Chain A
Amino acid sequence: MKMTELLIVFGLLAGLASGQQVRWNSEKLAAKASDSVDVTLDGPMLRLATKFLSSEDGDERQVKKLVAGLKGIYVKSFEFKNTGEYTAADVESFRAQVRGPGWDRIVGVHSTEEGENVEVYIKSDDGEGKKISGLAIIAAEPKELTLVNIVGPIDLDTLSDLGGHFGIPEIEADKKK
């Protein structure tokens, strides 16, 4: 076996061993997008960011708490000028990455009226979904496609609570629970 092949095999094994980071290959879409966001924050950068998040500011304190134990945050969001610039096959290729063992789809919303699809996947270590070790969101809208992958123990309630911050309207009905 050649050295390059050995390195590739080693890289793949390391990727599998590292856990839950989803490898979304989206260069093709990035080239077509009119606007794109690409956030790649791995362990050291997350730890550095945590040091810069304020413990006094309410929003930042909550975010600091949320990301404290995380191993990585990866977000890719693409905005297109026209509809149909990405295909169902593109979305399916991203979906295929979260069909592996340990991943479960907990939410799948499809709106024909608005042409929106939001799917939320979690990866759990115990296989029962009690101990979440990863989160993936695939949100497809006619002119926008967003992929979110959070690696590490994520608290969905806290993340959802942050929906009431940053100018995002909070879901009142849910808070009455």
Chain B
Amino acid sequence: MNLEDELRAALRCKEPPPDFAARVMARVAAAPARPAGRAWVRWTAALAASVVLAAGALEYRHYEGERAKEQVLLAVRIAATKLNKAHRKIQMLNHRSNS
């Protein structure tokens, strides 16, 4: 038997035994119900996940704020330096023309 025939034989459709559905339903009925006491575990896990997410968001906001503050200080420092440089040059020129 070649590979193709083997595959065809293995994948051939088969009818389930007549009591298949009944056996499945019996197993489902016999399966133990999920204990109700576990609900609080799920709620606690969800709450913990929310707290972690909120803390992360808060931390990120704090990081963004600190970064924005540093950028403002840097920008003002650069602007003030350049403005004063121009100021100083004007004063130097005034001083030269007066003396």
Contact = CB atoms under 8 A, between A and B. Distances in A.
Interface of A: 37, 39, 41, 45-46, 48-53, 60, 63, 66-67, 73-75, 77, 107, 109, 111, 116, 118-120, 135, 137, 139, 146, 148, 150, 156, 159-160, 162-163, 165-166, 168-169, 171, 173-174
A165 B83 CA distance: 13
B91 A159 contact: no
Interface of B: 64-66, 68-69, 71-91, 93
B73 A171 contact: no
A137 B77 CA distance: 13
Given A139-B85, A160-B83, A52 B66 contact: yes
A39 B71 contact: yes
A91 B81 CA distance: 19
Prevailing SS type, chain B contact patch = helix
Contacts of A150: 79
Given A163-B84, A171-B84, A173-B91, A137 B79 contact: yes
Contact of A118 (B66, B76, B77, B86): B86
Nearest to A49: B68
Given A41-B75, A75-B75, A166-B73, 10 more contacts: A37-B74, A39-B74, A45-B68, A49-B69, A73-B76, A109-B90, A139-B85, A162-B77, A171-B84, A171-B91
B1 to A, nearest CB: 63
A37 B74 CA distance: 9
B49 to A, nearest CB: 26
A46 B84 contact: no
Contacts of A171: 84, 87-88, 91
Given A52-B65, A77-B78, A156 B71 contact: no
A73 B87 contact: no
A148 B79 CA distance: 6
